[in-house]
């Protein structure tokens, strides 16, 4: 029998407990999960180790930041669904407040042609290195057989051809689930149907980068920004970086912000104590002010709350649902293909903006070397600081 259980905390005490986690949540999901495991599993015995491992496996299958979802689930375990809501809010609040402050400052400080602007150019080159390493790491965990590789490559090709991810990702999931279980004819039919639908709806242009850096459309509504965040939150498979192509397509692709601003937001999110998806707050601010920032944040984090709050009693059954896992694995492989296309496009944009391509390439190379060789939660903040320093000195 597993006799591990949370202590009897009041609602304010529970909120403050997870607020402290949020204030210490540096270093990305691995460091955040390790912190939760150390304090709530090993030291305080809120949940048994075996059950925690199974719960973590479920969160890795579902979309959304795993550390945040774990906090919501453990909050429910302690004080019911209101406890889960308070735990999730406590964990995300420090990063949200800090990102709102940084976004406000970013829009009021002089950037173009200044020392600060040169620093951000260096950060943008370093951010490309961080994303490249993240894509590699995600791919190592997702692309585990030839069919998954095929799904990723097909999704990348479809994105370059301008096919909507609403077509390619369900097709990747269904085709992989069928092909990996030997039903190759049905998988071929799914692919053929997807190609047919894509042909009927094709409008030309590159999918993930359609309109990137183009003319600004009308100011987005709060609802449009909430919807953009919600799409990112629902499609965050395998890590927070998988939200990048969807958020970028809905904001940069519509002219609501530039690629440079998007990369700056990613860089700022890498130094905060928060899940990386907090970059959506910055994107929302640039696109629609405070209301836009809050709306996009709400959309991004809603699935992370909803899966635990609505399906608390049934979540562990997901681990046993083989067909659903196969479908989600195929979707995740497709998302990897989309990220590869996006990072290549972001790199091209950064190369076109830099006043010295050699310096930016050197920053990228040094950042890649550090982030591949140094396995520490400090690696990302350090390479971003190096990029900022080099940019301020050499790219002004």
Tens digit of each residue's pLDDT (9 = 90 or more) over 352-385? 888 999 999 999 999 999 989 988 878 888 999 9
Interacting residues of 97 by C-beta distance below 8 A, sequence separation 6+:
none
Mean pLDDT of 304-319: 78
pLDDT value of position 207: 47
Tell me which residue has tokens 């301008």.
Answer: 162
**Helix residue ranges per DSSP H, the chain:** 11-23, 28-36, 49-61, 66-108, 115-142, 146-160, 165-179, 184-201, 222-234, 244-251, 259-269, 279-311, 317-320, 322-353, 357-373, 379-394
pLDDT value of position 241: 79
For residue 280, the SS3 value is helix
Q: For 20-52, give the DSSP string.
A: HHHHT--SHHHHHHHHHIIIIIIIS-SS-HHHH
Interacting residues of 155 by C-beta distance below 8 A, sequence separation 6+:
165, 168, 169, 172, 333, 334, 335, 336, 337, 338
Of 255, 206, 238, the residue nearest 328 (C-alpha):
238
Q: In percent, how much of the chain has pLDDT > 70?
A: 93
pLDDT value of position 204: 58
pLDDT value of position 58: 79
With beta carbons less than 8 A apart as the criterion, state whether 99 and 25 touch: no
Q: What is the pLDDT of residues 100-157, one digit of tens each?
A: 999 999 999 888 778 888 999 999 999 999 889 888 888 888 888 899 999 999 999 9
Q: What is the pLDDT of residues 17-33, one digit of tens each?
A: 999 999 988 877 878 88
pLDDT value of position 168: 87
Q: What is the pLDDT of residues 44-90, one digit of tens each?
A: 999 888 888 878 877 877 788 888 999 999 999 999 999 999 999 99
Interacting residues of 196 by C-beta distance below 8 A, sequence separation 6+:
none
Of 325, 305, 287, the residue nearest 107 (C-alpha):
287
Of 72, 73, 61, 92, the residue nearest 237 (C-alpha):
61
pLDDT value of position 367: 93
């Amino acid at each position: 029998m597993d006799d591990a259980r949370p202590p009897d905390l009041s609602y304010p005490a529970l909120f403050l407990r997870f607020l402290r986690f949020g204030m210490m949540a540096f270093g990305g999901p691995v460091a955040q999960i390790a912190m939760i495991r150390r304090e709530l599993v090993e030291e305080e015995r809120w949940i048994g180790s075996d059950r925690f491992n199974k719960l973590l496996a479920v969160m890795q299958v579902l979309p959304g930041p795993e550390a945040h979802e774990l906090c919501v689930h453990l909050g429910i375990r302690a004080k019911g669904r209101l406890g889960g809501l308070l735990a999730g809010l406590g964990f995300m609040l420090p990063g949200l407040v800090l990102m709102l402050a940084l976004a406000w400052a970013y829009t009021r400080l002089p950037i173009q042609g200044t020392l600060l602007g040169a620093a951000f150019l260096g950060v943008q080159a370093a951010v490309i290195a961080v994303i490249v390493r993240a894509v590699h790491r995600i791919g190592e965990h997702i692309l585990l057989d030839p069919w998954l590789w095929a799904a990723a490559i097909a999704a990348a090709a479809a994105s370059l051809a301008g096919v909507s991810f609403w077509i390619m990702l369900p097709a990747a999931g269904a085709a992989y689930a069928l092909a990996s279980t030997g039903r190759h004819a049905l998988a071929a039919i799914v692919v053929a149907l997807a190609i047919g639908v894509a042909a009927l709806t094709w409008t030309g242009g590159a999918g993930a980068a359609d309109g990137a850096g183009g003319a600004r459309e009308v100011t987005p509504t709060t609802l449009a920004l909430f919807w953009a965040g919600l799409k990112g939150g629902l499609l965050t498979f395998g890590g927070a970086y998988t939200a990048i192509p969807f958020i970028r397509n809905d904001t940069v692709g519509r002219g609501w912000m530039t690629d440079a601003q998007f990369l700056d937001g990613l860089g700022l999110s890498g130094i905060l104590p928060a899940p990386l998806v907090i970059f959506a707050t910055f994107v929302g601010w640039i696109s629609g002010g405070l209301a836009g920032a809050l709306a996009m944040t709400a959309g991004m984090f809603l699935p992370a709350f909803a899966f635990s709050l609505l399906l608390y009693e049934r979540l562990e059954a997901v681990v046993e649902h083989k067909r659903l896992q196969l479908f989600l694995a195929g979707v995740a492989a497709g998302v990897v293909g989309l990220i590869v296309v996006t990072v290549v496009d972001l790199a091209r944009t950064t190369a076109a903006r830099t006043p010295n391509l050699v310096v930016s390439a050197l920053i990228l190379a040094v950042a890649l070397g550090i982030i591949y060789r140094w396995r520490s939660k400090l690696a990302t903040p350090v390479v971003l600081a190096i990029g900022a320093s080099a940019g301020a000195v050499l790219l002004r």
